[in-house]
Amino acid sequence: MKNVDDLIESARELAGRGFSRGEIADELNVSRETASWLVERSGAATSGQTPGDGDAGDSSHNGGPHDVHVDWSAIGRDSARLAYAGMAMADLLSKEGEDVDLTVGIEKAGAPLATVVARELDTDIAAYAPRKHQWEEGDIEDLEGTFSRNFADIRDRECYVVDDTITSGTTMRETVDAIAEKGGEAVACVVLVDKQGVEEVRGVPVYSLIQAIRVGNS
């Protein structure tokens, strides 16, 4: 990605493939509001919508989004680089002790990173699909995330949580809450890039390899 026009074109392509706005946000590492703005600027319609049907409260009606786009595809497309990044993330978590026996990857991009972390820290692995993947418009609280049955169970286990980026912290909070609802306990979280300077969620420490801090109002 080189500029906003590239992001708009990517949003158009993803919307044309049937991605929800929440999934587009996940793919482009931007907020849901930014994803809506990009889709509307592209003239594309996501499932069940026509162009211009965005959430009345999103940033497309307020002069554009206030966000930071993170493109880490140079890491993601190469297995060796991905492994090195995952090992660095595991190292950030290693101070948390030896009792943790499960790593939860937030789908989609957090799952491959979590696989490396789990291998490095000798834990089982679980995968969580956040509710934003179903989000199109309206209140995201009406949706529900899910743990994949193809991976380890959560109940009565201490967990690490792994994702690629934190934009607002909403997905990380949701995941920590979902783990607690299943009877588990999140001990620490780790991401590649933190765009908000989040140090903890629900009292759980959050570590990041990189913090992206925007300076100014534009």
pLDDT in tens, 128-141: 998 876 656 766 67
Q: What percent of the chain has pLDDT over 70?
A: 83
Cα 106 to Cα 148: distance, rounded to the nearest angstrom: 11
In degrees and rounded to multiples of 5, residue 211 shows phi and psi of: -110, 125
* 75: helix, strand or coil: helix
Residue 106 has a pLDDT of 95
Q: Which domains does the chain have, with CATH numbers?
A: 4-61 (1.10.10), 73-211 (3.40.50.2020)
118 or 14, higher pLDDT: 118
Element (H, E) at 153: none
Q: Where are the beta strands (DSSP E) in the chain?
A: 102-106, 124-129, 146-147, 158-166, 185-194, 200-201, 204-211
Quick one: average pLDDT of 25-47?
75
Q: Which has more confidence, 57 or 192?
A: 192
> Residue 64 corresponds to which amino acid?
G
86, 93 Cβ separation under 8 angstroms: no
pTM for this prediction: 0.76
What is the Cα–Cα distance from 63 to 77, expressed in whole angstroms? Answer: 34
Asked if residue 48 has pLDDT above 50, the reply is no
- Strand arrangement, sheet containing 158-166: 146-147, 124-129, 102-106, 158-166, 185-194, 204-211, 200-201
pLDDT on residue 134: 65
Rounded to whole angstroms, how far apart are CA atoms 118 and 80? 16
Q: The tokens of 138 are what?
A: 């309206």
Q: How many CB atoms lie within 10 A of CB 43?
A: 11
Among residues 123, 107, 118, the alpha carbon closest in space to that of 23 is found at 107
Q: Are 191 and 165 in contact (CB under 8 A)?
A: yes
> What value does the CA radius of gyration of the chain take, rounded to a whole number of Å?
17
Bigger pLDDT: 214 or 135?
A: 214
- Beta pairing, strands 185-194 & 200-201: unpaired
More confident residue, 85 or 42: 85
Q: What is the spatial distance between Cα 108 and Cα 201, in angstroms, rounded to a whole number?
A: 20
